[in-house]
Amino acid sequence: MIQNDTWHILGAGSIGCLWATSLCHKGETPRLILRESSYQQLEQKRIPLKLSTPDQTFLFDVDAVSPETIDSPINRLIVCTKAQDSLSALNSVKPHLAENSQILLLHNGMGSQQTIRDALPMHRIWAGSSTDGAYLSAPFEVCHAGQGQTWIGPLRSNEQSEQGFHDLCDNFRLKVSQCDTIEQKLWEKLAINSCINGLTALFNCRNGELLDNGDKQAWLDRLIVETCAVLTALDIPATSLREKVHGVCQSTARNRSSTCQDARRGRVTELSFINGFLIQQANTLGVTVDGHHQLMNQLGAAGVR
């Protein structure tokens, strides 16, 4: 029986599977919403999900549904699709959203959250920014490689963080905290991603390799300086961005960024919502970001979208 407060998870990539399994671990019974085409290919409409951490493996069964087969109102939804897919994915389930439902958007970059907030005025839209490291080793099998921190908060300034999502944070294997300045957290992550992700895609390299060579590092540092100028114009603290970016390159040295992985697979990347968003904001603010322009142009010429 589906409960009124059942969490629905839209998207079964690494973050969708990480959140679905972590909710199961907490004793919840989330439902996974799959694209119609993926759903039709499933023999069983109950999917075994696997969560691996460096020390343990967990198995959980969850119900799968598709936008066509959802049979009860959705009160609580977590959107885990890529930034570029989130609005259309949400539109596909919109007829099933209960009035005043709670929606948490967990994707990289910025711009799509604000579009969704404006498109769904009757719903409580929250956004999250996370440093968890997770990847799929096979469909529905997620490895939680690096325990991080997730910040969640309302996208509308008149909504207080006490409303709604507090029960997510308690007794949860993921470290989730609420904050009333989520846009600032989103900017802080975007600032780091805008310096690392596109460059790793261009050079097809691991994060740590951006520091291995003078030319790459010079370009990285140029992006950092420009990103700092945008943050400063927005009144967002930009001090120590260089230390933070270099720190992430070092602590994730062996990883390929999400953008580099998408580019290697020929998939559309989230760069329009990372560097694209940064460039758009810089234009509005009158800040020059030639290094970011050059990066996007070279990626475009290399066929990375």
| Catalytic (active-site) positions | 189
Longest dimension (CA), the chain: 59
Residue among 196 and 278 whose Cβ is closer to ligand KPL: 196
Indicate the residue type of 186.
L
- Give the strands of the sheet with 150-154, arranged side by side: 133-138, 141-146, 46-52, 57-65, 31-33, 7-10, 74-79, 97-105, 124-130, 150-154, 176-178
**Total residues at interface with ligand KPL (CB under 6 A):** 11
Q: Does 197 bind ligand KPL (CB under 6 A)?
A: yes
Write the interaction track for ligand KPL spanning residues 223-262; mark x where CB under 6 A is met and - where it is not. -------------------------x---x--x-xx----
**Please, what is the minimum distance in Å from the beta carbon of residue 108 to ligand KPL?**
6
The correct pick among 6, 92, 193, 269 for binding ligand KPL (CB under 6 A) is: 193
Q: Does 112 bind ligand KPL (CB under 6 A)?
A: no
Residue among 33 and 299 whose Cβ is closer to ligand KPL: 299
Q: Does 81 bind ligand KPL (CB under 6 A)?
A: no
Q: Does 194 bind ligand KPL (CB under 6 A)?
A: no
**Please, what is the minimum distance in Å from the beta carbon of residue 154 to ligand KPL?**
23
Residue among 81 and 101 whose Cβ is closer to ligand KPL: 81
Q: Around Cβ 208, how many Cβ atoms within 10 Å?
A: 16
Please report, in angstroms and rounded to a whole number, the separation of the first and last CA atoms in the chain: 43
Residue among 188 and 226 whose Cβ is closer to ligand KPL: 188
Q: What is the 3-state secondary structure (H, E, C) of 15-67?
A: HHHHHHHHHHHCCCCCEEECCHHHHHHCCCCEEEEEEECCCCEEEEEEEEECC
| Helix, coil or strand: residue 75 | strand
List residues near ligand KPL by CB under 6 A.
Answer: 108, 192-193, 196-197, 207, 248, 252, 255, 257-258
